[in-house]
Amino acid sequence: MTIRPIRLTDVAMESEFIHRLSSETKHFRFLAGVRELPAEELVRLCDVDMKHSMAFVATVRKDGQEVEIGVSRYAPNSHFDVREVAVTIADEWQHKGLGASLMNQLIKTARTQGIKQLYSVNLSTDAAMSALAKELNMTSIRDPSDPNQTIHSLTL
């Protein structure tokens, strides 16, 4: 397994990764029913600049091809030193520590970029994300604007 920064040339691999996710995993990641993402959105997800946006992919070799099995990312919000994060792990790789590895790489990079806080907004029923947030020492509160969501945050 390799963990590396995502590249713009990874658009097709990212599309295939999302395509292979179960309905439940897609629902937890996108907070809605999503089957596929538009090409423009896939390009946006793979076009990162490290400071404002960043993503790491975990990949394995399968039949001579690089296959994505997980991704963590941060994206800008309205505060210059705060980023929203997300992590998604392929169904067959969940509960093996990969989410923590990807998030720790993202946290390390955020610190070097002067980012002061990371946060994620997840469905309150997403037990895997709640467990990961706890493992990463993130604080968790119910979203005041939506009781079906939880906000996990980490001060760096």
Domain boundaries, the chain: 2-155
Q: What pLDDT is stored for residue 32 in this prediction? A: 62
Inform me whether the pLDDT recorded for 90 exceeds 70: yes
| Residue 75 confidence class, pLDDT cut points 50, 70, 90 | very high
- In the structure encoding, which two tokens stand for residue 84, read together? 């929203």
Tens of pLDDT, residue by residue over 98-120, are 999 999 999 999 999 999 999 99
Mean pLDDT, residues 43-52 = 90
Q: How many CB atoms are closer than 10 A to CB 153?
A: 16
- CATH class belonging to 2-155: alpha beta
3-class secondary structure, 66 = strand
Mean pLDDT, residues 63-75 = 96
Inter-residue contact 43 to 54 (CB < 8 Å):
no
Q: Give the range among 30-34, 55-59, 108-112, 134-138 with minimum mean pLDDT.
A: 30-34
Inter-residue contact 52 to 45 (CB < 8 Å):
no
